[in-house]
């Protein structure tokens, strides 16, 4: 079963269908989607909804097709989940082999040939893995390249003059031939463009496969070269059955300039962040359970209780002021700041989270929007926690406009404390690098994976005791 957005059980789905008895597929789909199931999942468990437009004519009695099997599905009891396929015949996926083109093209001829090969392969049913950034400057990351080389079914190596001088291409050729040695099904098609010849490559010690070597001779056009490359790779299309994986094939790749970015990993453990923010930003407010100790103490002194002493309970009702440091040294953490800001807003509420930006320290001005619109810093109402996302100037290498000193941070902390607010700073560096003396004026939390909810709670407790 695919992951559902809701954890509502199959029993709920069966109950819903049993009570509401949808009489067409649209109603069944709507009910299933309301509970977070997709129709395929629902159909795997429940009888097929009646829908005359979906039913197909009975197949010939000699063949047992999927339609026949589907129409004979029994009513499923709630506790039985069959390993049944969808009631609709599965669509045949068109298999497109992946072909990686290793290249370094600076010459006009090479570019034309590369483009022709790329287009021809795409038209003939291949998907192309191509690092377009080499056409300008820079290169795809090493790990990305490695994964492409492992995924591809075929490789085209364009040996242009510039490729011979590219350590990257030559390194790739070694990797390709290593894989070829262990994987005989990998088809490698070297294309030699003038003035590169086989003799030149052999003299350089470049390993070459024994077959499929294409030498662009006089009178050859880019198109004819591309056609030959495609023909050399044709066995990949023919041997579709051999290549068909056990799981569904990769989706077709779109050739584009940008690299696939790595997924964003927050500095804090995502699953703990909500609880950490609740712990960091809660204030003592409201009345919780009776404070038995104080009650007993009062009664022991025979004091009449006009009001029952209650233990305060932590609440987020005060909201929070979030201060985001936009200094240069915090640029690497911009995404982390944005992510944590969103998490705080989700926990505290969008209306109750005031978000301000600053450079250097907030004492130099803060606000939302453009820097020119920033004004003098104003602390929030007394009792409202202030959350600071900053490196406190730790990672400043050279004097710059937003250079700060520890004393300036101390002054800022005094402003916040005088306003009756708790200042909690999440700092993306280890405690050994924190400016001294700041820990007395604010609660410093290491903004990194080792920080746990218990860490935050104990730091806050220490901060209050000070």
Binding site for other proteins (CB under 8 A): 5-8, 12, 15-16, 18-24, 26-27, 30-31, 34-35, 274, 278, 286, 288, 290, 295, 299, 305, 308, 313-317, 346-352
Q: Cα 335 to the chain's mean position, in Å? A: 12
Q: What angle do CA 236, 126, 109 make, to 5 degrees?
A: 110
In the complex, the smallest distance separating the C-beta of residue 298 from other proteins, rounded to whole angstroms, is 10
The H-or-E segment that residue 466 falls in is none
What is the secondary structure of 51-83 as a DSSP string? -TTT--PPPPTTS--HHHHHHTPPPPPTT----
In the complex, the smallest distance separating the C-beta of residue 299 from other proteins, rounded to whole angstroms, is 8
Q: Do 226 and 158 contact (CB within 8 A), yes or no?
A: no
- The residue (of 288 and 431) whose beta carbon lies closer to other proteins is 288
Q: Cα 277 to the chain's mean position, in Å? A: 22
In the complex, the smallest distance separating the C-beta of residue 230 from other proteins, rounded to whole angstroms, is 47
- The residue (of 1 and 26) whose beta carbon lies closer to other proteins is 26
Quote the DSSP letter at residue 137: S
Other C-beta atoms closer than 10 Å to the C-beta of 448 total 14
Instruction: List the beta bridge partners of residue 446.
Output: 427
- The residue (of 256 and 302) whose beta carbon lies closer to other proteins is 302
Q: Do 157 and 102 contact (CB within 8 A), yes or no?
A: yes
Q: What angle do CA 351, 353, 357 make, to 5 degrees?
A: 125
Quote the DSSP letter at residue 418: H
- The residue (of 296 and 382) whose beta carbon lies closer to other proteins is 296
Cα-Cα-Cα-Cα dihedral sign, residues 296, 297, 301, 306? negative
In the complex, the smallest distance separating the C-beta of residue 283 from other proteins, rounded to whole angstroms, is 11
| CA–CA dist 1, 40 (Å, integer) | 9
- The residue (of 19 and 398) whose beta carbon lies closer to other proteins is 19
In the complex, the smallest distance separating the C-beta of residue 233 from other proteins, rounded to whole angstroms, is 47
In the complex, the smallest distance separating the C-beta of residue 21 from other proteins, rounded to whole angstroms, is 4
- The residue (of 252 and 312) whose beta carbon lies closer to other proteins is 312
- The residue (of 286 and 332) whose beta carbon lies closer to other proteins is 286
In the complex, the smallest distance separating the C-beta of residue 20 from other proteins, rounded to whole angstroms, is 4
| CA–CA dist 222, 225 (Å, integer) | 5
């Amino acid at each position: 079963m695919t992951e559902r957005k809701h954890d509502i059980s199959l029993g709920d789905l069966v109950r819903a269908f049993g009570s509401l008895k949808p009489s067409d597929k649209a109603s069944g789909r709507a009910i299933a989607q309301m509970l977070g199931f997709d129709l395929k999942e629902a159909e795997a468990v429940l009888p097929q909804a009646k829908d005359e437009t979906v039913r197909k004519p009975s197949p010939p009695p000699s063949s047992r097709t999927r339609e026949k099997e589907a129409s004979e599905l029994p009513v499923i009891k709630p506790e039985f989940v069959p390993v049944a396929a969808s009631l609709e015949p599965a669509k045949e996926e068109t298999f497109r082999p992946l072909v990686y083109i290793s290249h370094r093209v600076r010459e006009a001829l090479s570019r034309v040939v590369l483009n022709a090969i790329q287009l021809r392969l795409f038209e003939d049913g291949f998907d192309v893995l191509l690092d377009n950034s080499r056409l300008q400057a820079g290169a795809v990351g090493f790990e990305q390249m490695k994964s492409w080389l492992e995924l591809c079914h075929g490789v085209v190596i364009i040996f242009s003059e510039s490729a011979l001088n590219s350590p990257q291409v030559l390194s790739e050729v070694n990797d390709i031939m290593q894989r070829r040695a262990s994987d005989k099904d990998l088809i490698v098609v070297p294309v030699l463009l003038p003035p590169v010849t086989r003799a030149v490559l052999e003299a350089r010690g470049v390993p070459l496969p024994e077959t499929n070597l294409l030498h662009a001779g006089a009178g050859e056009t880019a198109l004819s070269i591309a056609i030959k490359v495609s023909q050399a790779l044709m066995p990949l299309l023919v041997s579709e059955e051999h290549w068909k994986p056990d799981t569904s094939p990769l989706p077709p790749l779109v050739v584009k300039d940008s690299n696939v970015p790595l997924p964003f990993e927050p500095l804090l453990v995502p699953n703990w962040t909500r609880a950490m923010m609740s712990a960091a930003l809660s204030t003592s407010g409201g009345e919780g359970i009776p404070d038995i100790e104080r009650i007993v103490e009062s009664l022991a002194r025979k004091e009449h209780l006009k009001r029952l002493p209650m233990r305060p309970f932590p609440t987020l009702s005060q909201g929070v002021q979030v201060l985001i440091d936009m200094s240069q040294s915090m640029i690497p953490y911009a995404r982390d700041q944005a992510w944590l800001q969103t998490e705080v807003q989700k926990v505290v509420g969008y209306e109750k989270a005031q978000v301000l930006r600053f450079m250097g320290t907030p004492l130099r001005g803060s606000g939302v929007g453009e820097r020119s619109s920033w004004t003098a810093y104003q602390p929030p109402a007394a009792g409202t926690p202030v959350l600071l996302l900053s490196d406190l100037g730790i990672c400043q290498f050279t004097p710059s406009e937003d250079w700060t000193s520890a004393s300036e941070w101390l002054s800022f902390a005094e402003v916040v404390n005088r306003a009756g607010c708790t200042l909690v700073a999440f700092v993306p560096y280890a405690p050994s690098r924190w400016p001294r003396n700041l820990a007395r004026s604010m609660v410093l939390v290491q903004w990194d994976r080792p920080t746990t909810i218990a860490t935050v709670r104990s730091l806050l407790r220490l901060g209050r005791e000070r």
